[in-house]
Structure 1
Amino acid sequence: MHLKIGSSQCLIASSASVAKDIMKDHDLIFSSRPEFDTSGYNIYSGSSFFLAEYGDYWRFMKKLCMTKLLGTPQLNSYIGIRWEEVQGLIQTLTKSYEGSKRVDMGVEFTTMTNNMICRMVMSKTCLGTSTDAEECIKLVGEVLDLAGKMRVGDILGPLKKFDLFGYGKRLGNVLEWFDTLMEKIMKEHEESDEIRERKDIMDMLLEIYRDPTAEVKLTRRNINSFILELFMAGTDTSSEGLQWALAELINNPKVFNKLRKEIDTVTGKTRLIEESDVPNLPYLQAVIKETLRVHPPGPLILRKCREDCTINGFQVKKETRMLINIYTVMRDPEAWKDPESFIPERFLSDSDECIGEHQMEMKGMNFRFIPFGSGRRGCPGASLVLNVMHTTIGAMVQCFDFPHDECKVDLEEGSGFSTTLKHPLMCNPVPRPNLF
């Protein structure tokens, strides 16, 4: 489908076969992303990893992500941080029950994921002990809001350069504040004599920045831009995924009880679920897969065509924007049985509901199931998101009951560039008696 809104236009792909044609058969041709014109207000234009053209810099940063920054060894070194944050969430929810308070789970999940990212990136917590980390989270939220408004302004064509609504100037100011804050934190890292038990992501980026033999010379602006993108991609998407998973479990008590039984069988009732338990919890894995299928946090994948080519029999010109609607792909009735229903059993090999989905991994090789994209531009942070989702949802089911009114949780979707719940997920978490 060719979509034109004002001066903005793109091609939209909404089937697994066309997604495969783009992200596998023609992956190199579609290995770049279009950068929205921010009318000169984006100080990180040209320094971005997420929007970088496919080339030496992008390949260097992708390799860095997969082998160091977000690779398995580094993520394993952060297991303690993630476990402590899940414990903190449990304590918060327990206190809310003791105080007879309803809880906005979206706020609690976002606080937890923000704190995880802050501690992994800069060894700071954003829960009142570090004004820098709190300010960082606030600025990231403002950038997300303004970036969305600037993208909508892309339809104005030549008029967008006049910044009619003032979003561009505001975005420029916020980015300058963020850059100044990151420079302050970088200098603290460089001047600190503290010996940390583990390197954070800023430590590793600064090591590469100082390395004269590095394949690509990183600038301080490259570092700041990468950290901003890490926050933007890692906090809201994880929080939204957690909200959708919990909402579906509340609305499907049979699934909830089946999952709790599996967790109790593996962990007993004497300890909290750990990441090392996840390989032995196939139903938990199925619940997370089904959540990501029905409610992908990033429902749209945007690519740019680098040269003329043919997709699905149609001529696609160089520089054309291609939007892959993975929300539609993963709800396609021709590819999925009862696609609108939440059925984790479809991902279990021994279930009657299964039609082969259990063989689907998160690597994006089966194009009916691509919650993190596929190919060169697949999400480098997928492993981190999955680690957080598995253990957090496992802990929620293990530790709390979530009684709800006779009506189910309202699963109406909100507007925006990510799949969000339109209404806050308000809960009364009740701690399980005699647990631990």
Structure 2
Amino acid sequence: MAPTTFLYTFLLPAFLIYTTFLLLRKRRTPPLPPGPTGLPLLGSLPFLNPSLHTYFTDLSKKYGPIFSLQLGSKLAVVISSSSLARAVLREHDNTFANRDVPAAARVLTYGGNDIVWTPNGPTWRMLRRICVHEMLAPHSLDAVSGLRQREIWSTVRHIHARSGTPVNISTETFLNVMNTVTSTIWSGTLEGDKERESVGKDFKELVAGIVDLLGRPNVSDFFPALARFDLQGIQRKMEVLKERFDNIFERMIENKSCDEGKRTKDFLEFMLRMEREGGDSKIPFTVDHIKALLMDMIVGGTDTTATTIEWAMAELLNKPDLLKKLREELDQVVGKDKLVEESHLTQLHFLSLVIKETLRLHPPVPLLVPHCPSSPCTIDGYLIPEGTRVFINAWAIQRDPSKWTDPMEFKPERYLQQGLNRDFNGKDFDYFPFGSGRRICAGIAMAERMVGYLLATMVHSFDWKLLEGEEVDMSENFGIVVKKAVPLVAIPTPRLSKNELYY
């Protein structure tokens, strides 16, 4: 094709379309939020930094607490202040209660049939009720407390067997959380060191692969008209990973069907009973819903929880005085002649402060799950059109120097100050690591128990020291979940009074 023909056929129309878009953007009443201009067709895509949470934070310093970027054919708006987060997640909660479902997530969750991506409406309310009011309600979590205790004791034995040698804390926490989640879901677990090492490693790599694909920039999301071509192969890769989990789900469902005489108190049994009974009075509850919820619990529940514990251990090892203070509280409440029990958690006040501060500095999902308005909405005098992908930068808000003293410092004692009695209910828009509004994380209660129980046990049962000459690397690796760039490795030494407690 001749250069002149190419110019008139492709570049000139693209330039005219983009120029028209910029003119309309300026003439809108109310206008779109300010933001970088970008390039024709591509917008700001070529300039995105892989660490989106820090990149968006830097842009907010230039354009303000609400700004917009054109990402391909999709408009994105980023919120970076607590007052505007309140406007989106509380004052206009119903408008922003939908999701802009990524192509990879749609594949993973059987067409978006899970609690995270299902649109706001009757089906989502049914799934929310099943999760929050049935499976993850306090009485339901109490009923499976013995399963959590079994997995904690198993982890203690496993770490004790490796006393005096380097232990990858990321791997150990993931194995414990995975075993706890799967035993709670379908009473299954990994028995024995060999199975923990082999199958556990496979599970960790599988979940890591899924999380990586969910966080990877995808042409299909920026140009939905091209989604059917799957130009980067992300949907195909996700289909392969999903099938591996689907085979596990099918096997577990079949086992439950064959053991109808042996009823067990686990979440899968509850969901299968719901499916047999037809679900809600008007909304059917299908096997695809069951599998999608299982996927939510395994992928969402394991990686975020294990990562939070690893960050907490890293912060404590980085500040030995805080580690000593937590250990002294554990010795006072629990003593050194028995293991921590879940019933001790309500008495471990400094532990709760450590967890709060970890979630402030290291929210598991720093940009939350993006929201998507179901109709045009005006926020702070700016128009957010229907279908916009809205990011809430919780990472930046929870480090805002106008709201937090020494915001970059890990200071659990800050919550002892008057007016800083933070919790996870999503009503405080200076601190909402699990989100807010009707789409707040459904697994808060379970995550809080699991993080507290395992972190307390690891600190109480063992002394931990870094490898000779090593320091704690606190650098981040951004994704849907922000992890430590360098896994935490430390050497455990038993510290309880009786050796038999470890067996």
TM-score, normalised with respect to structure 1: 0.91
Matches of 2:122 and 2:72 in 1, distance apart? 34
Letter in structure 1 aligned against 2:284 = K
Superposed displacement of residue 415, structure 1: 2.5
Tell me, yes or no, if the aligned pair for 1:118 and 1:126 is still in contact at 8 Å. no
Counterpart in 2 of 1:351? none
Matches of 2:132 and 2:406 in 1, distance apart? 36
Q: Return the index of the structure with the highest Cα Rg.
A: 2
1:46-195 equivalences in 2 (<5 Å): 46-97=112-163, 100-127=164-191, 139-149=206-216, 151=218, 154-156=221-223, 158-195=225-262
Q: Give the length in aligned residue pairs.
A: 427
Counterpart in 1 of 2:382? 314
Superposed displacement of residue 257, structure 1: 0.8
Matches of 2:147 and 2:195 in 1, distance apart? 16
SS in 2 for 1:372: coil
Q: Within the alignment, does 1:14 sit opposite 2:80 as a pair?
A: yes
Q: Within the alignment, does 1:278 sit opposite 2:340 as a pair?
A: no
SS in 1 for 2:76: strand
Counterpart in 1 of 2:462? 400
SS in 2 for 1:323: strand
Superposed displacement of residue 262, structure 1: 1.1
Superposed displacement of residue 135, structure 1: 7.2
Provide closer, same or farther for how the CA distance between residues 423 and 38 of structure 1 changes in structure 2, counting only shifts above 3 A. closer
Matches of 1:140 and 1:433 in 2, distance apart? 34
Matches of 2:424 and 2:69 in 1, distance apart? 30
Deviations 1:394-414 (A, max 9, x none): 111111111224553110111
SS in 2 for 1:410: coil
Superposed displacement of residue 37, structure 1: 2.9
Matches of 1:53 and 1:83 in 2, distance apart? 36
Superposed displacement of residue 139, structure 1: 4.7
Superposed displacement of residue 308, structure 1: 1.4
Provide closer, same or farther for how the CA distance between residues 63 and 42 of structure 1 changes in structure 2, counting only shifts above 3 A. closer
**102-111 or 394-403, larger mean C-alpha shift:** 394-403
Counterpart in 1 of 2:430? 368
Counterpart in 1 of 2:440? 378
**62-71 or 376-385, larger mean C-alpha shift:** 62-71
Tell me, yes or no, if the aligned pair for 2:166 and 2:491 is still in contact at 8 Å. yes
Superposed displacement of residue 416, structure 1: 1.5
Matches of 2:435 and 2:289 in 1, distance apart? 24
What are the ranges of 5 or more consecutive residues in structure 2 without an aligned counterpart?
1-66
Q: Within the alignment, does 1:422 sit opposite 2:488 as a pair?
A: no
SS in 2 for 1:235: helix
Deviations 1:196-218 (A, max 9, x none): 5x421110001110114733211
Which of 361, 385, 401 is residue 333 of structure 1 equivalent to? 401
SS in 1 for 2:262: coil
Tell me, yes or no, if the aligned pair for 2:278 and 2:285 is still in contact at 8 Å. no
Deviations 1:231-272 (A, max 9, x none): 111000000000000000001111111111111111122211
Superposed displacement of residue 184, structure 1: 2.7
**87-96 or 120-129, larger mean C-alpha shift:** 120-129
Percentage of matched positions with identical amino acids:
31
Deviations 1:162-218 (A, max 9, x none): 22332222222332343343223212101214535x421110001110114733211
Counterpart in 1 of 2:27? none
Provide closer, same or farther for how the CA distance between residues 338 and 134 of structure 1 changes in structure 2, counting only shifts above 3 A. closer
Matches of 2:99 and 2:305 in 1, distance apart? 22
Matches of 1:194 and 1:245 in 2, distance apart? 43
SS in 2 for 1:82: helix
Tell me, yes or no, if the aligned pair for 2:105 and 2:112 is still in contact at 8 Å. no
Matches of 2:213 and 2:279 in 1, distance apart? 38
Letter in structure 1 aligned against 2:322 = V
Tell me, yes or no, if the aligned pair for 1:294 and 1:340 is still in contact at 8 Å. yes
Deviations 1:280-314 (A, max 9, x none): 11111000000000111111121011111111221
Superposed displacement of residue 93, structure 1: 1.5
Superposed displacement of residue 41, structure 1: 5.2
Tell me, yes or no, if the aligned pair for 2:103 and 2:235 is still in contact at 8 Å. no
Provide closer, same or farther for how the CA distance between residues 18 and 280 of structure 1 changes in structure 2, counting only shifts above 3 A. same
Provide closer, same or farther for how the CA distance between residues 201 and 17 of structure 1 changes in structure 2, counting only shifts above 3 A. same
Provide closer, same or farther for how the CA distance between residues 58 and 132 of structure 1 changes in structure 2, counting only shifts above 3 A. farther
Deviations 1:369-402 (A, max 9, x none): 1011111000010111110111111111111111
Matches of 1:213 and 1:160 in 2, distance apart? 33
SS in 2 for 1:403: strand
Provide closer, same or farther for how the CA distance between residues 420 and 212 of structure 1 changes in structure 2, counting only shifts above 3 A. closer
TM-score, normalised with respect to structure 2: 0.80
Tell me, yes or no, if the aligned pair for 1:150 and 1:168 is still in contact at 8 Å. no
What are the ranges of 5 or more consecutive residues in structure 1 without an aligned counterpart?
349-353
Tell me, yes or no, if the aligned pair for 1:132 and 1:181 is still in contact at 8 Å. no
Matches of 2:111 and 2:435 in 1, distance apart? 23
Superposed displacement of residue 85, structure 1: 1.3
Matches of 2:201 and 2:488 in 1, distance apart? 23
Tell me, yes or no, if the aligned pair for 1:125 and 1:133 is still in contact at 8 Å. no
Provide closer, same or farther for how the CA distance between residues 311 and 163 of structure 1 changes in structure 2, counting only shifts above 3 A. same
Tell me, yes or no, if the aligned pair for 1:294 and 1:330 is still in contact at 8 Å. yes
Tell me, yes or no, if the aligned pair for 1:305 and 1:319 is still in contact at 8 Å. yes
Q: Within the alignment, does 1:292 sit opposite 2:359 as a pair?
A: yes
Counterpart in 2 of 1:262? 329
